Chains A and B, each alone.
Chain A
Amino acid sequence: KQEVTQIPAALSVPEGENLVLNCSFTDSAIYNLQWFRQDPGKGLTSLLLIQSSQREQTSGRLNASLDKSSGRSTLYIAASQPGDSATYLCAVRPWGQNFVFGPGTRLSVLP
């Protein structure tokens, strides 16, 4: 059964710092991996989707990579801002199964 973990569980950084969030999954048989952002009391907002055949995706200050063979993905946030403070979740879509979510990383960017 696919399992997804995220490290660290929480992270606090000063504004302007570059940072990396990690996501690990146990089975490489996936369609894709998706990174989400969740603000308190809100739904999940999709940030980036990486298909299984891709190695990375970029959107503005965000860059997500995927290494299926090692079961890892990273979300790189450049020049962090207080507005980036939120919980970041990754989810994989295994073949023939529903999406599996990680527990999330709670990010605080301090002004």
Chain B
Amino acid sequence: DGGITQSPKYLFRKEGQNVTLSCEQNLNHDAMYWYRQDPGQGLRLIYYSQIVNDFQKGDIAEGYSVSREKKESFPLTVTSAQKNPTAFYLCASSGQGDSPLHFGNGTRLTVT
């Protein structure tokens, strides 16, 4: 079955450490996205990529970095510069134009 796999499901880190969240899709989608979800807030776009080797900042990119070396993979690194990294992170992908958006099951990151 095609889908999006995010790993790990839960991640715990100490403050000051960088951490990388994995996102892999086998839907052959060109576009991939990273969102952050906090309690009581809607989804906020961190980074997106429309094609391999290219990506753009979303609304809240500060303190995050991404890479898109392969079509199926879009890892997100939460750096020590991110002031409030504890959140639920969601990866998504879509085809071109009017295609629907598909989501992974998310990674819950806790930084103490």
Contacts and interface: CB of A to CB of B under 8 A. Distances in A.
A51 B98 contact: yes
A111 B43 CA distance: 30
A23 to B, nearest CB: 12
Report, as a range, how many residues of chain B touch the other chain: 20 to 34
What does DSSP make chain B's interface, helix, strand, loop or mixed? strand
A104 B100 contact: no
B101 A102 contact: no
Report, as a range, how many residues of chain A touch the other chain: 20 to 34
B110 to A, nearest CB: 13
B64 interface: no
Nearest to B31: A98
A93 B31 CA distance: 13
A46 B100 contact: yes
A36 B41 CA distance: 16
A98 B42 contact: no
Interface string B57-68: 010000000000
Interface of A: 31-32, 34, 36, 41-46, 49, 51-52, 89, 91, 93, 98-99, 101-104
